């Protein structure tokens, strides 16, 4: 075992630090001088921001704006209280997939709280229903820059024309920020990539590259695709409905991946031929470590992309994220039906609320014109009372060798499927069977009482119908036992936080298209079996050598805890993404764990 030591971050546990101070008078003088300089600087900045008109009273009103193709976009405009001559920045706020805008800013989540504080503090705020949702027309295209991107441009055009002269300007450009969660983060990243008027963003729980999010290695995330399609069945564009139908075959099409690949910041972080590229915009990214839809790797790539172009970016990783309803617990962070996060976050020896953190960032950028914000560059929390800080997201670290031995990959056995129903009480079993076609319900009923035997060849068809008709809670029971391959045993309390790196060889019959599902697990001292960390699992398809990131983690280890690979031949998150022909694979190589 080879250990690579890297000084990635500092760990704080709330203990006090003492400083030797040689002169109290000198410190007092320094603080007073700094305060005077700060007051003078704020006065200079205020003079550099243009805009302002007659005094205004706080009010809100609803409108519909006609977009480039005639589609009506519903908005609510929040006009702030302004003194005569006082300019106001603009904050754009929108909702998640299948949702609708806030029309009164009364919700208690952290992002709405931030938006309400902005309105009360002299910002214009515009909330809007994205195309296909709420009171807006059209159909959702998953943030297509040529469609939803142009919707954003239309809204900003309207704001410039109608909020002037009160709208704040700096060097001829309006001061505009964005905030939103999930799909509401997507509009910010796509919008700022096609329109340079955005200055500061707070994208929470959002993506970098949709093909990776939804079908890594072209293996569809069956359960999430089912949930997302159900949320927008009548609102999404036909190509998205078709993409979901394709996913039921177990493989995402190249055409769908190519189209969705345009719809995110990742498309602008690569060389392009159209003159566009990485947007010039600052951002505070917030991501949940339990997010099985958009994991922290994607937030890291967004952060790294903006930083590489000289933008001022920050990344805070907390518990929570998108959680599969009735599949993931969510008690350690998920606060909504499909996800969320706690408002409190610990970074080093400082506690923050996400609402105050978001407002501090936006106000620093849009009114104080600060080059950098006095907050940690990167913070990864392990729980509500501990978090590590760093300048970059830790990647790799301690190098550990492993060999899996032969592992069967493929569909679960018929018995696994039948056990889904055997575990249910009579009422629940009858309800589950009633959701199926008459032929399938009859077959399963007879198999459950031993009158017939179901051939293994029918499992794929059965699973397809189960995915289309049953709840995620029931499908979660499809899981087969993983192979736990130990990597590291903690000899003292440690932090495991960052992105593990793997360099491995998969041996098997490549013509059979084998797929193995890989995660990290922890066997806590005193526990009889390991648990998949953060419910995060990644498919690996085919055979041969590869270097890859595993899904990011952030947790505390106690002495005696054992960390290892969790290898599955089938996993219910990818319920229809399994190998169609059962075969054996063998994995060997190294994993680098970001240990401290």
HSE-CB for 24 with a 13 A CA cutoff: 0
Residues 398-409+479-593, CATH architecture: Sandwich (2.60)
The predicted structure's pLDDT at residue 330: 58
Q: Which residue has the higher pLDDT, 47 or 318?
A: 318
- Give the pair of three-digit tokens for residue 172: 């001829």
pLDDT above 90 as % of the chain: 76
- Average pLDDT for residues 565-574, to the nearest whole number? 94
Range name among 23-32, 89-98, 193-202, 548-557 with the lowest pLDDT average: 23-32
pLDDT band at 248; cut points 50, 70, 90: confident
> Cα dist. 325→20, 244, 291, 377 in Å?
52, 19, 12, 32
Q: What stretches of 449-556 show up as alpha helix (H) in DSSP?
A: 459-469, 472-475
Q: What is the pLDDT of residues 46-79, one digit of tens each?
A: 568 999 999 999 999 999 999 999 999 999 999 9
The predicted structure's pLDDT at residue 571: 93
- Average pLDDT for residues 561-584, to the nearest whole number? 94
Residue 427 confidence (pLDDT) above 90: yes
pLDDT band at 467; cut points 50, 70, 90: confident
Residue 18 confidence (pLDDT) above 70: no
Nearest to 199 by CA among 184, 179, 177: 177
Strands 176-181 and 198-204: parallel
Q: Which helix (H) or strand (E) holds 419?
A: helix 414-422
Q: Which residue has the higher pLDDT, 38 or 501?
A: 501
Burial pattern 242-270, b for ≥16 Cβ within 10 A else e, equals: ebbebbbebbbeeebbebbebbbbbbbbe
pLDDT band at 327; cut points 50, 70, 90: confident
Strands 124-128 and 90-94: parallel
**Vertex 431, ends 225 and 241: CA angle to 5°?**
20
Q: Which residue has the higher pLDDT, 20 or 306?
A: 306
Range name among 84-93, 177-186, 318-327, 530-539 with the lowest pLDDT average: 318-327
- Burial of residue 370, with CB atoms counted within 10 A of its CB: 0-12 exposed, 13-18 middle, 19 or more buried: middle
**Vertex 225, ends 220 and 228: CA angle to 5°?**
160
Nearest to 477 by CA among 486, 490, 466, 468: 466
Residue 416 confidence (pLDDT) above 90: no
pLDDT band at 468; cut points 50, 70, 90: confident
- Average pLDDT for residues 77-90, to the nearest whole number? 98
Q: Spell out the residues 6+ positions from residue 358 whose beta carbon is closer than 8 angstroms to its own.
A: 110, 111, 114, 179, 202, 284, 286
Residue 325 confidence (pLDDT) above 90: no
The predicted structure's pLDDT at residue 30: 46
Residue position matching structure tokens 């790797």: 297
Residue 10 confidence (pLDDT) above 70: no
The predicted structure's pLDDT at residue 334: 44
Q: Residue 439 in 3-state DSSP?
A: helix
pLDDT band at 20; cut points 50, 70, 90: very low
Task: In whole angstroms, give the CA distance from residue 460 to residue 478.
Answer: 13
Q: Which helix (H) or strand (E) holds 239?
A: helix 238-247
Q: What is the pLDDT of residues 382-412, one digit of tens each?
A: 987 889 999 999 999 999 999 999 999 998 8
Q: How is domain 54-209+261-321+353-381 classified at the CATH fold level?
A: Rossmann fold (3.40.50)
Per-residue DSSP letter, 582: -
Range name among 52-61, 85-94, 576-585 with the lowest pLDDT average: 576-585
Q: What is the mean pLDDT of the chain?
A: 89
Task: In whole angstroms, give the CA distance from residue 302 to residue 349.
Answer: 26
Residue 36 confidence (pLDDT) above 60: no
Range name among 149-163, 258-272, 472-486 with the lowest pLDDT average: 472-486
The predicted structure's pLDDT at residue 126: 98
- Average pLDDT for residues 70-96, to the nearest whole number? 98
- Average pLDDT for residues 142-164, to the nearest whole number? 98
The predicted structure's pLDDT at residue 5: 36
Residue 40 confidence (pLDDT) above 80: no
Peptide bond preceding 178 in cis form (omega within 30 of 0): no
Q: Delimit the domains of the chain by residue range.
A: 54-209+261-321+353-381, 398-409+479-593, 414-477
Q: Which residue has the higher pLDDT, 45 or 402?
A: 402
Answer whether 0.85 is exceeded by the pTM: yes
CB–CB of 414/402 below 8 Å?
no
Torsion of Cα atoms, 99 then 105 then 109 then 111, to 10°: 90
Task: In whole angstroms, give the CA distance from residue 108 to residue 101.
Answer: 14
Task: In whole angstroms, give the CA distance from residue 453 to residue 420.
Answer: 16
Q: Spell out the residues 6+ positions from residue 273 whose beta carbon is closer than 8 angstroms to its own.
A: none
Q: Which residue has the higher pLDDT, 271 or 342?
A: 271
Range name among 24-38, 155-169, 226-240, 367-381 with the lowest pLDDT average: 24-38
The predicted structure's pLDDT at residue 114: 97
């Amino acid at each position: 075992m080879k250990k690579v030591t890297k000084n990635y971050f500092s760990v704080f546990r709330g203990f006090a630090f003492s400083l030797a101070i040689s002169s109290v008078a000198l410190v007092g003088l320094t603080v007073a001088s700094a305060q005077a300089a700060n007051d003078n600087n704020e006065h200079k900045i205020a003079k550099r921001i243009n805009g302002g008109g007659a005094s205004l009273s706080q009010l809100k009103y609803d409108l519909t704006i006609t977009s480039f193709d005639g589609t009506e976009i519903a908005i609510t405009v929040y006009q702030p209280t302004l003194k005569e001559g006082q300019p106001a920045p603009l904050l754009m706020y929108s909702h998640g997939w299948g949702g609708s805008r806030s029309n009164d800013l009364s919700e208690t989540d952290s992002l709405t709280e931030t938006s309400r504080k902005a309105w009360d503090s002299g910002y214009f705020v515009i909330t809007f229903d994205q195309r296909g949702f709420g009171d807006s027309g059209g159909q959702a295209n998953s943030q297509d820059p040529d469609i939803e991107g142009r919707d954003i441009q239309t809204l900003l055009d309207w704001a410039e024309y109608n909020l002037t002269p009160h709208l704040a300007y700096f060097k001829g450009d309006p001061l505009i920020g964005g905030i939103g969660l999930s799909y509401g983060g997507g509009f910010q990243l796509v919008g700022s990539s096609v329109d340079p008027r955005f200055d500061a963003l707070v994208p929470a729980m959002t993506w970098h590259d949709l093909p990776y999010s939804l079908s890594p290695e072209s293996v569809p995330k069956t359960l999430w695709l089912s949930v997302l399609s159900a949320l927008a069945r009548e609102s999404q564009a036909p190509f998205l409905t078709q993409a979901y139908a394709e996913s039921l075959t177990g493989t995402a099409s190249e055409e769908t991946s190519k189209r969705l690949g345009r719809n995110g910041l990742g498309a602008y972080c690569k060389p392009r031929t159209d003159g566009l590229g990485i947007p010039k915009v600052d951002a505070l990214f917030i991501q949940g470590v339990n997010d099985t839809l958009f994991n922290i790797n994607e937030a890291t790539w967004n952060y790294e992309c903006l930083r590489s172009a000289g933008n001022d970016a920050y990344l805070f990783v907390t518990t929570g994220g998108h959680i599969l309803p009735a599949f993931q617990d969510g008690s350690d962070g998920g606060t909504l039906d499909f996800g969320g996060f706690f408002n409190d976050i610990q970074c080093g020896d400082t506690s923050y609320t996400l609402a105050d953190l978001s407002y501090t960032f936006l106000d620093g950028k849009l009114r104080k014109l600060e080059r950098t914000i006095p907050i940690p560059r990167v913070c990864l929390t392990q729980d509500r009372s501990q978090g590590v800080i760093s300048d970059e997201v830790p990647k790799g670290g301690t190098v550990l060798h492993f060999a899996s031995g032969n592992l069967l990959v493929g569909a679960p056995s018929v018995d696994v499927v039948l056990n889904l129903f055997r575990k249910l009480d009579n009422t629940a079993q009858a309800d589950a069977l009633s959701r199926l076609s008459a032929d399938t319900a009859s077959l399963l009923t007879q198999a459950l009482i031993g009158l017939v035997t179901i051939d293994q060849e029918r499992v794929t068809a059965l699973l397809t119908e189960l995915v289309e008709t049953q709840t995620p809670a029931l499908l979660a029971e499809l899981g087969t036992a993983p192979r736990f391959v130990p990597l590291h045993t903690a000899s003292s309390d440690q932090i495991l936080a960052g992105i593990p790196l793997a360099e491995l060889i998969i041996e098997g019959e490549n013509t059979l298209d084998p797929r193995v599902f890989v995660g990290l697990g922890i066997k806590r001292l005193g526990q009889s079996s390991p648990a998949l960390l953060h419910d995060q699992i990644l498919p690996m398809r085919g055979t041969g050598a590869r270097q890859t990131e595993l899904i990011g983690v952030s947790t505390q280890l106690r002495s005696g805890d054992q960390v290892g690979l969790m290898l599955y031949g089938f996993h219910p998150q990818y319920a229809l993404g399994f190998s169609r022909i059962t075969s054996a694979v063998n994995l060997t190589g190294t994993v680098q764990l970001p240990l401290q």
